[in-house]
Amino acid sequence: MRTFIKKFAGKAVAAGILLVLLTGFVAGCASTPKFTPGVYEGTAKGFGGDVVARVELSDSAIVSVTVTGAHESQGIGSIAIAELPGVIVQRQTTKVDAIAGASVSSRAVIEAVNAALRSAGVDPEKLTGKTVSTAARTNETVNADVVVIGGGGAGMSAAIIAKQAGLNVVLIEKMAMLGGNSSKSTGGMNAAETKYQKEQNINDSVQTFIDDTMKGGGNIADRSLVTILAQSSAEAIDWLDSIGAPLPRVSFSGGATNRRIHQPADGSAVGTYLVAIFEKKLKELNIPVYLNTRATDFIVDAQGKVTGVKAASATVNYTFNGKATVLATGGFGANEDMYAKYQPQLKGYVTTNSPGATGDGIVMAEKIGAALVDITQIQIHPTVEQNTAIMVTEAVRGDGAILVNKEGRRFFNEMETRDKVSAAEIAQPDSFAYIIFDQALREGLRAIEGYVSNNIVTEGATIEELAGKLGINPSVLAETLTTWNAAVRAKRDSAFNRTTGMERDLSKAPYYAIKIAPGVHHTMGGVKINTQAQVISTAGNPIPGLFAAGEVTGGIHGNNRIGGNAVADIVIFGRIAGASAARAAKGN
């Protein structure tokens, strides 16, 4: 059974484990198992490395389970490591549900515990465990000035801003952890005319940012929203600095004229980095967070004003009353039925999205008359490892990597927009490609270590050895690399007219490759908003009391999102939504 967690910032989690709140345990076993008392250890492969379980047995019960996994992603895999041991002890079996959004780490925890049990001579399959029943559902009302629905980057940004404005804020999230799709972001945040660009002598402008975004999105985006995105970006970078989340490393992303994508100093994945800091800030500000709590319906008064939301956890029916409400529930890239409804050719594609990105908020908003915009615009990302659905960050190409087909030849400008690169890959034999990089690039971009630990990287001491492992003619791949390195030195790619991400060649052994193909990545469409993040109705008017930010909205990215603009979107419009909601709650 899924754990219900009601977490208030600033309060310690007892014993470091989020226990299941269950009552009425009833023995479900026909007989009591017989164990050899002792402490046993087992290991399994997690998302980022080894997960180790230590299991203490008495002669008849699983007494305790302790799990460690230092390399599991913070706020995702770490939730499974914290939560599942308590569930296993409570249930006296490893036949328990995985934590939604952390399936790989959950399986690793279960497999590690099973390995420990087997080392004790116990067959995990024979542990039927205990059946449980929940207490009767209760009703609870929570009153706040601002209610934020969705605990991803946009929702957390909005909650922080509203709280800093002096408001009483609550945040609800349907998943067992905060972060949403923001946790899966690996690239960075686009921003123009920032202090970091100036320090690094990068010549960029707000107008170029606007032009790149409009062009990259097929010139169908709402220019007023794009203008706010670009104009507010440098200030947003400064705000991140102020809360302890600097993004000083500046690189290229596809579709950007200049080096604009801002990243953590060590090149680590921007998503888990920001989510951890946002979550820390929520605790610091004492903002109540309700996890495993799904919003179901907006509360609307007789005048058409949104005054809160109905929600439910495993045991409680909630009424969250608010003077203003922020919708930040994300897109629908994990809802195959929904994205295939709008783009049938995408049925069967892997998705890079968090399991929580199912479009719930869009459906809720549409029910109360919200207008939708660009809803059929769905982006596929060109560099997705198909077995794990791990997205290889655009920063790899931005730092100089190339794409080759199964024959070992480049076939397109790697730094074009995602839609064009994806289409070029699909046109290749067997519709896949390899991303090729060297040791120098690996050393400069920490995010690559995650790919290595997940066993999706092939390594060769020489480019010829790498080609052999990939089944490519070694002389062809070697010639491709020689031609590319010459183009970098000449600062001229005569083959495909690439002009960015050419600061250094690929000449430091060993060499690496990741096999990739397109996957569903971002849904550009959603509820319509204005520049103050007010949700707009089908009649063209703001819906009183309702604001929105992040991937739940449409109009900002057009028909294709440029890499780095999603993080800009969640931070910038999250802050705008929080500030607008705060003003509305104060009666302004």
Positions marked active-site: 418
Per-residue CA distances from 127 to 26, 36, 42, 278, 559 (Å): 15, 15, 17, 40, 52
Q: How far is the C-alpha of 261 from the C-alpha of 197, rounded, in Å?
A: 10
Q: How far is the C-alpha of 170 from the C-alpha of 146, rounded, in Å?
A: 7
Amino acid, single-letter form, for residue 154: A
Contacts of 581 (CB under 8 A, 6+ apart): 146, 158, 162, 167, 324, 325, 326, 547
Q: How far is the C-alpha of 420 from the C-alpha of 342, rounded, in Å?
A: 20
Per-residue CA distances from 429 to 351, 548, 549 (Å): 22, 42, 40
Beta strands across the sheet bearing 261-263: 189-190, 261-263, 249-251
Q: Which of 350, 337, 341, 328 is nearest to 376 (CA)?
A: 341
Per-residue CA distances from 221 to 206, 211, 214, 226, 380 (Å): 16, 11, 6, 7, 18
Per-residue CA distances from 53 to 104, 109, 113, 117 (Å): 15, 7, 5, 10
Strands 553-554 and 526-528: parallel
> DSSP letter at 530?
-
Q: Spell 157-172 as b/e; 16+ CB within 10 A means b.
A: bbbbbbbbbebbbbbb
C-alpha 466, offset from chain centre:
31
Are 291 and 6 in contact, with CB atoms under 8 Å apart?
yes
Task: Extract long-range pairs of 469-476: CB within 8 Å, 24+ residues apart.
Answer: 469/513, 470/408, 470/434, 470/513, 470/515, 471/406, 472/404, 472/406, 472/407, 472/408, 472/434, 473/407, 473/408, 476/407, 476/408, 476/409
